[in-house]
């Protein structure tokens, strides 16, 4: 039984997945012949199906590495292109179309390519064989083909007919053997004819005596001999048997039988010649088995060496550190969840309160600016002393309806701002930003797939909670829309808080002024520019045009800086005034809320914040902290298929290289183990009684 070829083909497919390495080539049968010598017909007779590209234009442009796998216990016959991932193709005309497309994809300018197409055909009717079909040799280059084509084909064939491959040299009986390009090529690399099988096709086209004499050729002796075939099935039988199993093979065999048995003298047992496709199939199996057997040792040694290299690389570059896509993902996920837990512990109610308060402070500042501090800026100026400026401001009369209305309108603008929506948005955005930061600090940063999965997990939960949270918050602050009581303690804290906010703001403005000062070259110079700008503003000086190219001896750029500084001065003055108003005795207690809107609005915003935070914590934060890690498990843990896990891990080039060296090592170990098993089998076979 020929188990060796089958096992070796298995090993070869393992080695193929390890990657291209010339040293790991196992022997194949390489089929060469001139165009129209009948090469395709022979291969199809062996496979039993029409599957090779046909056409007048040169259609075989790439080598086809054809692996035949005998599946004795299965009925199905199918082909697979491992590199294309098209799955099992049971329709052989589909295989033919695919091969034609793959070949025609080679541009006309190149004409041939040495990038092989891998095709595996599994069937109970094929022998275990590994064949390589090559473009046919051409005699004359067509007018639309490049001149170097002949040479290119010849070079491509030469590459494949090297040892340990077996050469199947196809020649047609109706062409003189001396003119056979296939035999000439094989003689160049196998001068003693030790690994070449001669196939003479179209035996029916010459008379039987001449046919027999070709098979007995003494001029070009081949150790493995010649086989004569009539590999073209009669047209009616191909169509008749097309869909049946082994259709062409049996039709060809019948046809050959009829032909050869009608010439018993020339082709009978006595004649001592080999004829028929069935004989050829057997011969191919035997020869390949022997060649495989002979190459066992050298292949083992080559795999050994590759394995040693992989082992060394694993040790030196990766310190023998084991890694699998699953463990990598699991560890990355654990680390990420851990960092998320740390974040969750550091981002609770106090932090949310602070964030929300800041946001509302800003809104309050805007409200005050538009409703209270909205005097035209020209009335204030860096040139007017602050005390004077303060006195220009209207004083609030606690009894006046005007001031009541003003404060009530401001308060209601604040409470009806849409706090629910605002607060939920602020907190959601903050959480999403924190998650993004955690991603970028984690191993997931190098994995677009995981980044997206995590971001989506977070936004999914946040979006789902958004409306209910914002409704809840909005409902709970509702009472403040109608009435707001202020206690003395709250007032005092508010006063302090507003002072803090104003001081901070003032500091920022002063820093900005300093910045402009250094930009223009000192305080003095800035003062000159500002006073010029002030004069222009008051109308004391009229600049012709728009001052676009400068005025008063100052450049346009400098004037702009002056304007900026004047604006900042105004702003600083205003802030100082607000601070002194705040410090005044009138603002010392809550009775004077109409006089001190800043404090009152701050107290309101604090109350709104505290109430909002309570519900944000329950409705959004706690829910998020509970659900997010679980969602991560689903999206990046058990929810992923094996392929997705592999794809994920390989997104990181470093991890990919690490995984690949491990995979390579494992596959080589597996191949080697199988090899050793085969060698043991061989030894046992040789020792069997009756074997020499």
Nearer to ligand GDP (CB atom), residue 37 or residue 592: 37
- Site stretch for ligand GDP (CB under 6 A), options 12-20, 101-109, 151-159, 202-210: 202-210
Task: Sort strands 196-201 and 166-172 into parallel, antiparallel or unpaired.
Answer: parallel
Give the range of 9-17, 36-44, 425-433, 564-572 binding ligand GDP by CB under 6 A. Answer: 36-44
Chain-centre distance of CA 458, in angstroms? 22
Taking the least distance from each CB to ligand GDP, the nearer of 196 and 277 is 277
Closest CB to ligand GDP among 38 and 276? 38
Q: How far is the CB of 34 from ligand GDP (least distance, A)?
A: 7
Crossing angle, helix 325-346 and helix 419-441, to 10 degrees?
Answer: 140
The 3-state DSSP class for residue 505 equals: helix
- State the minimum distance, in angstroms, from the CB of residue 204 to ligand GDP: 5
Asked whether the beta carbons of 63 and 112 are under 8 A apart, the reply is no
Residue 36 near ligand GDP by CB under 6 A: yes
CB 331 within 8 A of CB 444: no
Among 61, 62, 125, 232, binds ligand GDP (CB under 6 A): 232
Chain positions 556 to 575 lying near ligand GDP, rule: CB under 6 A, are: none
Long-range Cβ pairs for the range 457-462 (8 Å, 24+): 457/628, 457/631, 457/632, 457/635, 458/431, 458/432, 458/624, 458/628, 459/432, 460/631, 461/623, 461/624, 461/627, 461/628, 461/631, 462/428, 462/431, 462/432, 462/620, 462/624
Judged by CB under 6 A, which of 231, 247, 249, 411 binds ligand GDP?
231
Characterise 87 by phi-psi region: left (phi > 0), alpha (psi -120 to 50), beta (else): left
Work out the burial of residue 361: count CB atoms within 10 Å of its CB; fewer than 13 is exposed, 13-18 middle, 19 or more buried.
buried
Within residues 117-136, the interface with ligand GDP by CB under 6 A covers 136
Give the Cα-Cα-Cα angle 436, 442, 443 (nearest 5 degrees).
Answer: 130
Tokens 């990919």 -> residue = 656
Does the protein bind ligand GDP through residue 41 (CB under 6 A)? Answer: yes
Window of 86-94, 201-209, 317-325, 565-573 that interacts with ligand GDP by CB under 6 A: 201-209
DSSP 606-651: HHHHHHHHHHHIIIIIHHHHHHHHHHHIIIIIITS-HHHHHHHHHT
Contact flag: residue 230 with ligand GDP (CB under 6 A): yes
Paired strand residues for 227: 199, 274
Comparison of 35 and 305: residue with beta carbon closer to ligand GDP: 35
**What would the two tokens of residue 502 be?**
């104003």
Residues within window 475-534 making contact with ligand GDP, judged by CB under 6 A: none
The answer to whether the beta carbons of residues 165 and 27 sit under 8 Å apart is yes
Task: Name the residue nearer to ligand GDP (CB basis): 13 or 36.
Answer: 36
Choices 88-96, 199-207, 353-361, 475-483 (CB under 6 A): range interacting with ligand GDP = 199-207
Helices marked H in 393-447 — which ranges? 401-415, 419-441
Instruction: State the nearest-atom distance from the C-beta of 680 to ligand GDP, in Å.
Output: 41
Instruction: Please choose, out of 229-237, 440-448, 496-504, 591-599, the segment that lies near ligand GDP by the rule CB under 6 A.
Output: 229-237
In whole angstroms, what is the distance from residue 230 CA to residue 277 CA?
8
Out of 5, 40, 415, 611, the only residue in the binding site for ligand GDP (CB under 6 A) is 40
Q: How far is Cα of residue 604 from the mean position of the Cα atoms in its chain? A: 52
Binding of ligand GDP at residue 96 (CB under 6 A)? no
Binder to ligand GDP among 27, 33, 211, 276 (CB under 6 A)? 33
Q: Smallest gap, in angstroms, from Cβ of residue 35 to ligand GDP?
A: 5
The residue count for the chain: 692
Would you count residue 678 as binding ligand GDP (CB under 6 A)?
Answer: no
CB 254 within 8 A of CB 237: yes
Q: How far is the CB of 298 from ligand GDP (least distance, A)?
A: 32
Nearer to ligand GDP, 230 or 667 (CB): 230
Decide whether 33 or 198 has the Cβ nearer to ligand GDP: 33
- Binding to ligand GDP by residue 201, rule CB under 6 A? yes
Q: Do the Cβ atoms of 177 and 219 come closer than 8 Å?
A: yes
Distance CA 4, CA 683 (A): 12
Task: Tell which one of 9, 12, 14, 39 touches ligand GDP (CB under 6 A).
Answer: 39
Token pair of 102, please?
A: 């793959």
Instruction: Please give the Cα distance from 671 to 673 (Å, whole number).
Output: 5
138 binds ligand GDP (CB under 6 A): no
- CA 451 to CA 628: how far, in whole Å? 14
CB-nearer residue toward ligand GDP: 37 or 410? 37
Q: Residue 144 in contact with residue 264, Cβ under 8 Å?
A: no
Q: Distance between CA atoms of 45 and 254, rounded to whole angstroms?
A: 12
Least distance CB 160 / ligand GDP (angstroms): 16
Smallest separation (angstroms) from ligand GDP to the CB of 191: 25
Sole window of 30-38, 97-105, 112-120, 155-163 interacting with ligand GDP (rule: CB under 6 A): 30-38
Give yes or no for residue 193 binding ligand GDP (CB under 6 A): no
- 103 contributes a contact to ligand GDP by CB under 6 A: no
Residue pair 432/458 in contact (Cβ under 8 Å)? The answer is yes
Nearer to ligand GDP among residue 202 and residue 569 (C-beta): 202
Number of residues located near ligand GDP, criterion CB under 6 A: 16
- Residue the block writes with tokens 């750029």: 557
Q: How does DSSP classify residue 131?
A: E
Judged by beta carbon, residue 48 or residue 136, the one nearer ligand GDP is 136
Give the one residue of 128, 190, 204, 359 binding ligand GDP; rule: CB under 6 A: 204
Provide the minimum distance between the beta carbon of 60 and ligand GDP in the complex, in angstroms, as a whole number. Answer: 8
Based on CB atoms, which residue is closest to ligand GDP, 60 or 291?
Answer: 60
Footprint on this chain of ligand GDP (rule: CB under 6 A)? 33, 35-41, 136, 201-202, 204-205, 230-232
């Amino acid at each position: 039984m020929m188990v060796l070829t089958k096992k070796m083909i298995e090993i070869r497919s393992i080695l193929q997945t390890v990657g291209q390495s010339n040293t790991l080539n196992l022997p194949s049968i390489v089929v060469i012949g001139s165009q129209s010598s009948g090469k395709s017909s022979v291969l199809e007779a062996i496979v039993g199906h029409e599957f090779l590209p046909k056409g007048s234009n040169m259609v075989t442009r790439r080598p086809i590495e054809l692996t035949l796998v005998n599946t004795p216990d299965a009925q199905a016959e199918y082909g697979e292109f491992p590199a294309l991932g098209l799955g099992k193709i049971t329709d052989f005309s589909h295989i033919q179309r695919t091969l034609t497309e793959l070949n025609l994809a080679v541009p006309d300018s190149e004409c041939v390519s040495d990038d092989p197409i891998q095709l595996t055909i599994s069937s109970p009717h094929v022998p275990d064989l590994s064949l390589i079909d090559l473009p046919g040799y051409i005699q004359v280059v067509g007018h639309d083909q490049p001149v170097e084509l002949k040479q290119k084909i010849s070079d491509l064939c030469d590459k494949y007919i090297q040892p340990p491959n077996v050469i199947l040299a196809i020649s047609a009986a109706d062409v003189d053997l001396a003119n056979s390009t296939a035999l000439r090529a094989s003689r160049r690399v196998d001068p003693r004819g030790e690994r070449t099988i001669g196939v003479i096709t179209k035996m029916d086209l010459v008379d039987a005596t001449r046919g027999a004499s070709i098979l007995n050729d003494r001029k070009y002796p081949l150790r493995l001999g010649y086989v004569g075939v009539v590999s073209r099935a009669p047209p009616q039988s191909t169509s008749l048997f097309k869909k049946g199993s082994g259709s062409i093979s049996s039709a060809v065999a019948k046809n050959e039988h009829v032909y050869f048995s009608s010439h018993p003298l020339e082709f009978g047992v006595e004649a001592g010649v080999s004829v028929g496709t069935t004989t050829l199939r057997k011969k191919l199996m035997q020869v390949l088995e022997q060649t495989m057997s002979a190459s066992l040792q050298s292949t083992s040694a080559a795999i050994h060496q590759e394995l040693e290299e992989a082992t060394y690389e694993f040790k030196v570059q990766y310190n023998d550190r084991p890694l699998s896509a699953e463990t990598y993902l699991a560890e990355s996920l654990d680390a990420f969840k851990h960092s998320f837990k740390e974040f969750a512990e550091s981002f609770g109610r106090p932090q949310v309160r602070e964030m929300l308060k800041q946001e509302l402070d800003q809104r309050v500042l805007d409200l005050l600016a538009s409703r209270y501090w909205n005097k035209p800026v020209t009335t204030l100026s860096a040139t007017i002393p602050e005390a004077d400026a303060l006195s220009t401001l209207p004083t609030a009369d606690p009894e006046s309806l005007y001031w009541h209305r003003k404060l009530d309108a401001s308060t209601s603008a604040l409470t009806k701002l849409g706090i629910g929506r605002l607060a939920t948005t602020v907190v959601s955005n903050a959480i999403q930003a924190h998650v993004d930061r955690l991603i970028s600090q984690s191993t997931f940063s190098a994995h677009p797939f995981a980044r997206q999965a995590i971001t989506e997990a977070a936004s999914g939960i946040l979006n789902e909670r958004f409306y209910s949270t914002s409704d809840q918050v909005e409902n709970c602050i509702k009472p403040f829309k109608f009435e707001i009581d202020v206690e003395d303690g709250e007032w005092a804290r508010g006063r302090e808080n507003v002072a803090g906010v104003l001081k901070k703001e003032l500091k920022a403005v002063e820093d900005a002024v300093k910045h402009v000062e250094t930009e223009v070259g000192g305080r003095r110079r800035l003062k000159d520019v500002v006073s010029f700008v002030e004069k222009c503003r008051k109308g004391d000086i009229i600049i012709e045009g728009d001052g676009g190219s400068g005025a008063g001896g100052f450049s346009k750029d400098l004037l702009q800086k002056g304007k900026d500084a004047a604006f900042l001065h105004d702003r600083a003055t205003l802030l100082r005034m607000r601070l002194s108003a705040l410090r005044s005795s009138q603002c010392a207690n809550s009775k004077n809320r109409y006089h001190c809107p800043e404090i009152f609005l701050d107290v309101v915003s604090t109350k709104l914040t505290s109430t909002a935070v309570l519900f944000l914590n329950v409705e959004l934060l706690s829910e998020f902290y509970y659900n997010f890690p679980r969602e991560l498990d689903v999206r990046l843990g058990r929810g992923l298929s094996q392929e997705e896990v592999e794809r994920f891990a390989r997104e990181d080039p470093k991890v990919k290289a690490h995984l690949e060296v491990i995979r390579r090592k494992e596959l080589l170990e597996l191949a080697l183990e199988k090899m050793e098993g085969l060698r043991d089998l061989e030894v046992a076979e040789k020792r069997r009684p009756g074997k020499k």
